[in-house]
Amino acid sequence: MVIMVKLYKILFTGRIHGVGFRYAVSSYAKSHHFIGTVRNIPDGVEVIINNKDFLKNFNSPILSRVESQTIEEITIVGAKFKDFKIIGSEF
């Protein structure tokens, strides 16, 4: 049996590297029992999460400046998320 999971990919761009952005995302996600991942990518920060309502009350760190955010629904085959994790950067 193939397991398909509906998730959301959120891409944040702006001044978000080196300001604790991933840690703020992780802390907020864990406190709301969301599952998924966050990582730095060359163009910003990518969040894969199980709930699009993540954006409703998330406050970015004071030193960050989000210039844009995009969200898209994605389906991942065989995903095995159990909690929320910060994963290694892409670059």
Domain for residue 54, yes or no? yes
Domain for residue 78, yes or no? yes
Domain count, the chain: 1
Q: What is the DSSP letter of 16?
A: -
Q: What is the pLDDT of residues 26-75, one digit of tens each?
A: 999 999 999 999 999 999 999 999 988 888 889 999 999 999 999 999 98
Query: CA 72 → CA 25, 45, 61, distances in Å?
Result: 17, 14, 23
Sign for the pseudo-dihedral over CA of 31, 10, 39, 51: positive
Domain for residue 34, yes or no? yes
Q: 90 pLDDT exceeds 90?
A: no
Domain for residue 91, yes or no? no
DSSP 47-63: EEES-TTHHHH----TT
Domain for residue 61, yes or no? yes
What CATH code is carried by the domain that includes residue 60?
3.30.70.100
- 76: confidence class by pLDDT, cuts 50, 70, 90: confident
pTM: 0.90
Residue span of the structural domain in which 68 resides: 4-86
